[in-house]
Structure 1
Amino acid sequence: MQMSDTREIQAPPTDVYAALLDPEVLKACVAGTQEISGNPADGYEATVVQKVGPVKATFKGTVTMSDMVEGERLTIAGEGKGGAAGFAKGSANVTLSPSESGGTVLAYDVDAKVGGKLAQLGSRLIDGFAKKMADQFFIKLQEHFEGPAEPAEGEETSDEEGKKGWLGRLTGRD
């Protein structure tokens, strides 16, 4: 499965590059990360818990960085085993370029593969999950620099005060 996208981040390319190498930032950006240790030169070891459709698994794996040109590009490759759930592996080629607004245009190309029970779930479910994971990662990275996005006017918030049960919505009561 392959996907590509771009995102503008309001920070200089050198800061975005440094954040991509910081294990604490990586831990905050990868949903379900239990622990991460290591460094960019030797690679990282990570434990991530994910639920893909009906399959929940704890993946233990490695992440390596290569093709590193400070402030310009890097390749992030990872591989994890989730026991009976199977395995996941992939890589992302990330390029950083200055934007006209003084920030960074981050572009990425991801190639990912899964095997075992995960592969049996079907490509539509896996592709949707992988896209969601990539989007979440880069949204969290963007929030690391810019703070959480403000909800658009008229858009419901996700906090408890803004929620109503389905029955409340139907009857107009809380």
Structure 2
Amino acid sequence: MRTYQGDFVIDLPRSSVWAFITDPERVGPCIPDLLKLDVESETRFHAVVRVGVGPVRGKFKLSTELTVTEPEVSAELSIRGGGMGSGVDMKAKLTLSDTENGGTKLDWRCDAAISGPVASLGGRLIDNEAKKITEKMFNNLSKALSSVSEQVAATSEETAEPGLKE
């Protein structure tokens, strides 16, 4: 089992970040190398992703389930699946907290276990690739949330009273 973790701050209120991270239609596209996304419900979706570890390349089918542990504070994503005769089992925990300037800090931790031929490629190679994919996922999530923040700021500017614009 490998553990990866990190955090980032976004200039959006916690309720907006929560609405984003609990929406499979918005979170799904943040998955690196996503080939296909099928949203089953508000808490479940399936994805097909392209995976490459060293000389081994192929597709993984993943099933993801969101569990809210405390509304607008924490949630867990359970990700299971496999491909190329290998399996993956991950549990990601997301925790939100307010920042002093009205933004939100998102702390994340991901525990991952990989089995099968892909796992036999060597611990260091697997560890580096899994870390890179996990960090890219949360980096993509941060960028998507930043985009939402910019849209909110632009909308607020457009709806300001006409006399206040120059």
What TM-score do the two structures reach when normalised by structure 1?
Answer: 0.76
Aligned to 1:14: 15
Q: Which amino acid aligns with 2:42?
A: P
Whole-angstrom CA distance in 1 between matches of 2:127 and 2:42: 28
Aligned to 1:121: 121
Moved over 3 A (4+): none
Whole-angstrom CA distance in 2 between matches of 1:3 and 1:90: 11
Aligned to 1:66: 67
Question: RMSD between aligned alpha carbons?
Answer: 1.5
* 1:39 correspondence with 2:41: yes
Of 17-26 and 29-38, the range deviating more from structure 2:
17-26
Aligned-pair distance for 1:70?
2.4
Where do 5+ consecutive residues of structure 2 fail to align?
Answer: 148-166
Paired residues for 1:16-165 under 5 Å: 16-36=17-37, 37-41=39-43, 43-84=44-85, 86-147=86-147
SS of 2:77 mapped into structure 1: strand
Whole-angstrom CA distance in 1 between matches of 2:12 and 2:131: 24
Cα distance change on mapping 1:25 and 1:56 into 2, 3 Å: same
Whole-angstrom CA distance in 2 between matches of 1:54 and 1:83: 12
Whole-angstrom CA distance in 2 between matches of 1:135 and 1:9: 16
* 1:5 correspondence with 2:6: yes
Instruction: Report % sequence identity.
Output: 29
